[in-house]
């Protein structure tokens, strides 16, 4: 395998895997790089380059075995076993995550939920008892949590992420609209809905349409 793989490459691998699973469900046996490229917005050359970081999976002119590539991408993305998640913040976003059955189907098991709201602590949400924050370190250690999820207001997100890192999680997914500093080398991925909407706003703007059409200055 080549050196450090970019985040954009990893995201495309996830898209390829999603498409391959759809093809597998309808009985497709072989797929070409151009077939994988079109729905993901990549080029066939980009698909081949992305996959070449991890080995050789197909033969020129013959395409890729769907079954083999699904297995390879699942292994590359660490999806051959389940990951345990702990959620901090059971508000609207947190509750939506707890209720999303697609996580478990993809190997991500939410095993603990925390909040500071006394009215929520001790209640049940989608099969989990909401716990108080002072129990965070003990529970994460006891349950072997791999990933911490921050779904709190912005003003406490950095503190919560740092606490999760110190508690021993291996990675953090952040839904607060703020870039968080890395603590103890724990990687953080931020999902910023506003940022994504602003990107779409640009594409809809006069400038964005002009650049996309090649009519820029």
Q: Are 136 and 167 in contact (CB under 8 A)?
A: yes
Q: Please give the pLDDT value at position 128.
A: 95
Side-chain half-sphere of 66: how many Cα atoms within 13 Å?
16
> How confident is the model at residue 216, as a pLDDT?
55
Mean pLDDT of the chain: 89
Give the model's confidence band at 49: pLDDT under 50 very low, under 70 low, under 90 confident, else very high.
very high
Residue 3: predicted pLDDT: 55
Share of the chain above pLDDT 90, in %: 62
User: 113 vs 80, 94, 123, 167, CA distance in Å?
Assistant: 24, 9, 11, 14
**Sheet of strand 128-132, all strands in order from the earlier edge strand to the far edge:** 124-125, 128-132, 108-115, 83-88, 147-150, 171-174, 188-190
Q: For residue 2, is pLDDT > 60? A: no
pTM value is 0.78
The better pLDDT of the pair 208, 68 is held by 68
Tokens found for residue 112: 């603990």
Residue 198 pLDDT: 82
Q: Is the pLDDT of residue 186 over 80?
A: yes
E strands, the chain, where?
30-31, 58-59, 63-65, 83-88, 108-115, 124-125, 128-132, 147-150, 171-174, 188-190
Residue, of 12 and 59, whose pLDDT is higher: 12
Is the distance from CB of 160 to CB of 137 less than 8 angstroms?
Answer: no
pLDDT confidence band for 118 (50 / 70 / 90) = very high
pLDDT over 90 at 27, yes or no: yes
Q: How confident is the model at residue 41 (pLDDT cuts 50, 70, 90)?
A: confident
At residue 81, does pLDDT exceed 80? yes
Contacts of 196 (CB under 8 A, 6+ apart): none
Predicted pLDDT of residue 153: 94
């Amino acid at each position: 395998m080549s050196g450090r793989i970019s985040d954009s490459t990893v995201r495309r691998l996830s898209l390829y895997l999603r498409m391959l699973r759809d093809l597998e469900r309808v009985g497709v046996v072989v797929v070409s790089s151009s077939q994988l490229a079109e729905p993901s917005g990549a080029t066939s050359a980009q698909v081949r380059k992305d996959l070449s970081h991890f080995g050789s999976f197909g033969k020129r002119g013959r395409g890729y075995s769907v079954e083999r590539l699904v297995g390879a991408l699942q292994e590359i993305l660490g999806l051959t076993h389940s990951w345990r998640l702990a959620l901090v913040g059971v508000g609207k976003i947190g509750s939506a995550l707890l209720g999303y059955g697609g996580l478990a189907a993809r190997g991500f098991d939410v095993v603990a939920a925390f909040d500071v709201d006394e009215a929520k602590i001790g209640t049940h949400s989608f099969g989990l008892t909401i716990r108080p924050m002072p129990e965070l370190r003990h529970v994460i250690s006891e349950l072997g949590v791999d990933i911490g999820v921050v779904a709190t207001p912005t003003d406490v997100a950095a503190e919560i992420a740092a606490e999760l890192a110190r508690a021993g999680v291996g990675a953090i997914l952040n839904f607060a609209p703020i870039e968080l500093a890395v603590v103890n080398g724990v990687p953080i991925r931020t999902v910023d809905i506003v940022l994504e909407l602003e990107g779409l706003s640009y594409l809809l703007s006069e400038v964005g349409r002009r650049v996309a059409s090649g009519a820029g200055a």
